[in-house]
Amino acid sequence: ACVPLLFSAHQFSEGMVWLALEGRLGPYALDHAVFLFTLYAIGILPLLMPVAVLLMEPPGWRRIAILGTVAVGAVVFAWDMSGLVVAPTCAVIEQHSIRYTNPITSQLWVSLLYILATCGALLLSTHRVVRTYGALNVIGLTIVHLVKGYAFASVWCFYAAVLSV
């Protein structure tokens, strides 16, 4: 139930990234805003989503499968959190969107496991609304990847935030 609220704070942090990239805030603010945005988008979400779905599920095979997505999410969480702490994330405005790059977290295998953890858990849910949210996210992330792949994190997060309401 707190997902839309967390996404709103997340989108607020990206608003701060925009202001900093446009020169309205200092470089120190930019570094912090980028870290806050990526902390939630890249670090927390791949663990939060499957855990949230797991907590809603009744006992059964789906719950066991969702537990597998929690394990995948935990691996992605650990990898991405270490990457966010060790290597700086670069944010730049590109074609009216923000591109985030990090040499450790911006790898295809990490992205695939991320999608497996977040969307996989949603799609496995016994709750129709949760499964629909998962299916719409898969459709959205596919479109975002095809149209604005360079700004994937920014655009998909905005889409998922709006959809979460």
pLDDT tens figures, 43-74: 999 999 999 999 999 999 999 999 999 999 99
* 3-class SS letters over 73-103: HHHHHHHHHHHHHHCCCEEEEECCEEEEECC
Most distant pair of Cα atoms in the chain: their distance: 53
For 9: left if phi > 0, alpha if psi spans -120 to 50, otherwise beta; the answer is: alpha
Q: How far apart are CA 49 and CA 82, in angstroms?
A: 19
Write out the E strands in the chain.
90-94, 97-101
| Contact call for residues 117 and 50 (beta carbons, < 8 A) | yes
Look up the pTM and report it. Answer: 0.90
Dump pLDDT digits (tens) for 94-135. 999 999 999 999 888 999 999 999 999 999 999 999 999 999
Q: How many CB atoms lie within 10 A of CB 42?
A: 26
Three-class secondary structure of residue 58 per DSSP: coil
Q: What is the pLDDT of residue 44?
A: 94
Number of domains into which the chain is organized: 1
Domain of residue 52 covers: 3-164
